[in-house]
Amino acid sequence: MPTPTVQLAPAFQQQEKQFARAFDLLRDAIQQKALPGASLAVTVGGRLLAWKGLGRFTYDPDSPAVSPTTIYDLASVSKAIATTTMAMILLERGKLALDAPVIEYLPDFSGSDQRRRQVTVRMLLAHSSGLPAYEKLFLRTITRDEIVAAALAVPLEADPGTRAEYSDLGFMILGELLSQVAHEPLEVFCDREIFDPLGMAGARFVPPPEWSTQIPPTENDRDFRRRILQGEVNDENCSVMGGVAGHAGVFASALDVATFAHCLLDGGLPIVKPETVALFTRREPSPAGTSRALGWDTPSAPSQSGTRFGSRSYGHLGFTGTSLWCDPERKLSVTLLTNRTWPDRSSQEIKRVRPKVHDAILEAIGDMS
């Protein structure tokens, strides 16, 4: 592994005292079976104030304990740290134009609906393309080529630019678009240009098989794959795509995600420029009422970030129970990784727990940031 160019200074000696309430909230959530375990990292100004594993891989008392280095399926947090960052890099290199029509890069996106010609790269990033949120394309496709073709043909549900609708499909298409622009697969680009330069040693699409013992299972999938999912992506559409997609697929530890967050909070170097970070993390002015930035979300009441993150904050959630929130004014990040989808997807208790944990963390930090 390359030597990290961004390093967090260990400062978590007092974490048990400082973050006692946040840790207790997570322990209670584990006790109530909202999630089997969690890995948490909190940074302020490049200092790692909390780095903690709680609970176990599953609810089995003999299951492995979660450690600070445990690797999780990030699900849609992949959209932010991989796909969006790839778009930032390609934009800086003059290879991508935010307001260019998608069909300039992916002619197969055109179709008979003339509105599709109005869909831009910016709209895919801001979830305002008019595409629906989700489709079970995996039920009617077998190969990666088939599912990409199916995604490119999904009909629009709204006029482009008129509605903010969080869309996995938009980011599936964006991932393919960026791969075309870069002339290489998403995972190759992200390894070389993002994960390796930052020393994110546990961050990878399609983690190697020997990593599986370090990765909690996300689900006992009884419907589609008919096996326990451990070390392979939870998302079915991404699974058909071989585990590499614009909307999901990255596995990482809390420290990896916190390292990435610090890079953005510190201006983006060595991977992107400060002005590019500012452009992508600023809330979009349209459609009216949107909370979306480019590839990121921003706090809106009620927010999974809780009530204490500043108005310029940005973050992202993942279906498996993962999240990253950053506050640039405090130079603060909170990474919370869980596998709340174990053993199935039914529990939504993470939505109740997560804002409280964020509030407890920010209350504990207080003025020291």
Report pLDDT digits (tens) over 159-186.
999 999 999 999 999 999 999 999 999 9
**52 lies in the same domain as 167:** no
- Among 136, 256, 265, CA closest to 205: 256
Residue pointed to by tokens 């992506």: 233
Q: Is 193 a member of any domain?
A: no
Q: What is the mean pLDDT of residues 327-346?
A: 97
pLDDT at residue 190 in the model: 98
**249 lies in the same domain as 347:** yes
Q: Is 1 a member of any domain?
A: no
SS3 content of the chain, % helix, strand, coil (to 5): 35, 15, 45
Q: What is the mean pLDDT of residues 58-78?
A: 98
According to DSSP, residue 359 is labeled H
Structure-block tokens of residue 32: 């109530």
pLDDT at residue 66 in the model: 98
The residue from 186, 206, 235 where one domain ends is 186
145 burial (CB, 10 Å; 0-12 / 13-18 / 19+) is exposed
Element of type H or E holding 53: strand 47-55
pLDDT at residue 7 in the model: 82
Structure-block tokens of residue 51: 């780095």
Residue pointed to by tokens 């006790």: 31
Angle, CA of 264, 293 and 82, to the nearest 5°: 50
* CATH number, residue 290: 3.40.710.10
**234 lies in the same domain as 312:** yes
**159 lies in the same domain as 249:** no
**89 lies in the same domain as 167:** yes
Q: Is 257 a member of any domain?
A: yes
How many Cβ atoms sit within 10 Å of the Cβ of residue 242?
A: 16
Q: Is 360 a member of any domain?
A: yes
Angle, CA of 83, 84 and 85, to the nearest 5°: 90
**168 lies in the same domain as 217:** no
Residue 2: pLDDT band (50, 70, 90) is very low
Q: Is 3 a member of any domain?
A: no
**126 lies in the same domain as 163:** yes
**285 lies in the same domain as 357:** yes
Structure-block tokens of residue 133: 């949120």
The residue from 186, 212, 234 where one domain ends is 186
Q: Are 137 and 147 in contact (CB under 8 A)?
A: yes
**355 lies in the same domain as 233:** yes
Quote the domain boundaries for residue 276.
Answer: 9-78+198-368
**20 lies in the same domain as 138:** no
**90 lies in the same domain as 72:** no
Burial 48-77 (b: 16+ CB within 10 A, else e): bbbbbbbbbbbeeeebeebbbebbbbbbbb
Report pLDDT digits (tens) over 105-157.
999 999 999 999 999 999 999 999 999 999 999 999 999 999 999 999 999 99
Total number of domains in the chain: 2
Q: Are 56 and 65 in contact (CB under 8 A)?
A: yes
**72 lies in the same domain as 97:** no
The residue from 158, 186, 214 where one domain ends is 186
Report pLDDT digits (tens) over 193-249.
999 999 999 999 999 999 999 999 999 999 999 999 999 999 999 999 999 999 999
As a whole number of angstroms, the distance between CA 291 and CA 312 comes to: 11
Verdict on whether the full-model pTM lies above 0.95: yes
Q: What is the 3-state secondary structure (H, E, C) of 327-348?
A: ECCCCEEEEEEECCCCCCCCCC
Report pLDDT digits (tens) over 15-28.
999 999 999 999 99
Q: Is the dihedral of CA 135, 136, 137, 143 positive or negative?
A: positive
Structure-block tokens of residue 270: 């060595």
3-state secondary structure of 314: strand
Does the pLDDT of residue 5 top 50, yes or no?
no
Beta strands 47-55; 9-10: pairing state: parallel
